[in-house]
Amino acid sequence: MIMKKIDVSTSINGIKLPLCIMNASGVLCTTDQELSNLLNSCSGGVVTKSCTYKPRKGNVSPRYFEWNTGSINSMGLPNLGINFYLNFLEKKEINKPVFLSISGLSIEENYFLIQKANGSSKVTAIELNLSCPNLLEKEDMLSYNFYKISNFIENIFKFNKKPLGVKLPPYFQDTHIKNIALILNKFPIFFVTCINSLPNGIFIDTNKESVVIRPKKGFGGIGGPIIKPFALANIHKFYTYLRKDISIIGCGGISSGKDIFEHILCGASAVQIGTQFMKEGISVFRRLKKELTFILEKKNYLSIDNFKGKLKVFQ
Ligand code: SIN
């Protein structure tokens, strides 16, 4: 019997990833050790913790909590500052694409960080995080402000030369996704990552009659299996409205190969793992690769392009 070779590699607008699965920014990708683990793993790429100009301690603890179907966090962008990430990459042998996630505290800081990332040959692409819901000093999210975001991105492409994508929050109305896509379609954006956590949820410990995290009176971003339907919906709609050369990186609610299959069916070219990576650690990538390969084998698909974006709907 001839064994078919199943190909689970992918391309993000021309950036080749040996595997379509990588980590989501924020989870176990802040320190030298965590990033080295990712470089040494079978993940298809490495995404760094969203960085700011100066190192940040982030919000007070407890700031992360998980239960069987979800997680809540209000980390507040704890990170070691952009210089740490650029120096780390400089001294490492890089064997897969590196996505430097940046999340400046102001528009000007973002310009500065993008400028700095442009100076590093070790950064494959920039993932511009426009959707952190947990900043005490800055309540409004740029990605929910359609006027500001348009202007902001226009200015970025006056100087940016690196492949750049944006990480978006969930949107809940068709017109919102259409409008964001219309804006993004005007610029040479490489990819969108959707979705970041669902902003401003609370989780309650019924016994203690209390919230479970300290910052912002218990409000935080919700991730994990319970957000998968929103991730799939956003991916599917962006796949419909975005220019076809803009790749989609799906994120939200993935804990099995089946979840990855569904993200790709909705139009994702690659996926990121957050809550499940936190729960399971670095071995998650090997397990998910195995599960996804098994599904493709069973369905007689040779690569993810055979079913990407081909979700069936009732006529
Ligand atoms: C955080 O550090 O608060 C999480 C970052 C994010 O959700 O973008």
* Within-domain flag for 115: yes
pLDDT at 239: 98
Of these residues, 20, 132, 194, 266, which one is catalytic?
132
Q: Supply the range of the domain harboring residue 147.
A: 10-58+82-202+225-306
Alpha helices in the chain (DSSP H): 32-40, 82-91, 107-118, 146-156, 174-184, 228-241, 257-266, 275-280, 284-299
Q: Whose CA is nearest to atom 8 of ligand 1?
A: 132
Q: What is the pLDDT of residues 57-89, one digit of tens each?
A: 999 999 999 999 999 999 999 999 999 999 999
* Within-domain flag for 264: yes
Distance CA 89, CA 118 (A): 13
Q: Residue 1 pLDDT > 70, yes or no?
A: no
Distance CA 40, CA 43 (A): 8
How many A from CA of 310 to the centre of ligand 1? 31
Ligand 1 mutation pick, 168, 193, 196, max ligand atoms within 8 A of CB: 196
pTM of the model: 0.97
- Tokens for 44? 């298809």
Q: Whose CA is nearest to atom 7 of ligand 1?
A: 132
* Within-domain flag for 159: yes
Q: Residue 140 pLDDT > 90, yes or no?
A: no
* Within-domain flag for 249: yes
* Within-domain flag for 68: no
pLDDT at 230: 98
How many A from CA of 240 to the centre of ligand 1? 27
* Within-domain flag for 195: yes
Q: What percentage of the chain carries pLDDT values higher than 70?
A: 99
How many A from CA of 244 to the centre of ligand 1? 28
Which pLDDT band, with edges at 50, 70 and 90, does 3 fall under? Answer: low
Determine whether 51 is an active site residue. no
Q: Residue 2 pLDDT > 60, yes or no?
A: no
pLDDT at 238: 98
**Number of domains present in the structure of the chain:** 1
* Within-domain flag for 66: no
* Within-domain flag for 124: yes
Provide the mean pLDDT of the chain: 97
* Residue ranges with strand state E in 119-219: 125-129, 164-168, 191-194, 198-201, 204-205, 210-211
Instruction: List residues near ligand 1 (CB under 6 A).
Output: 26, 50, 73, 75-77, 129, 131-132, 134, 196-197, 221
Q: What is the pLDDT of residues 226-273, one digit of tens each?
A: 999 999 999 999 999 999 999 999 999 999 999 999 999 999 999 999
CATH number for position 276: 3.20.20.70
How large is the average pLDDT for residues 220-227? 98
Q: Residue 92 pLDDT > 70, yes or no?
A: yes
Ligand 1 mutation pick, 30, 47, 73, max ligand atoms within 8 A of CB: 73
Q: Residue 8 pLDDT > 70, yes or no?
A: yes
Q: What is the pLDDT of residues 157-199, one digit of tens each?
A: 999 999 999 999 999 999 999 999 999 999 999 999 999 999 9
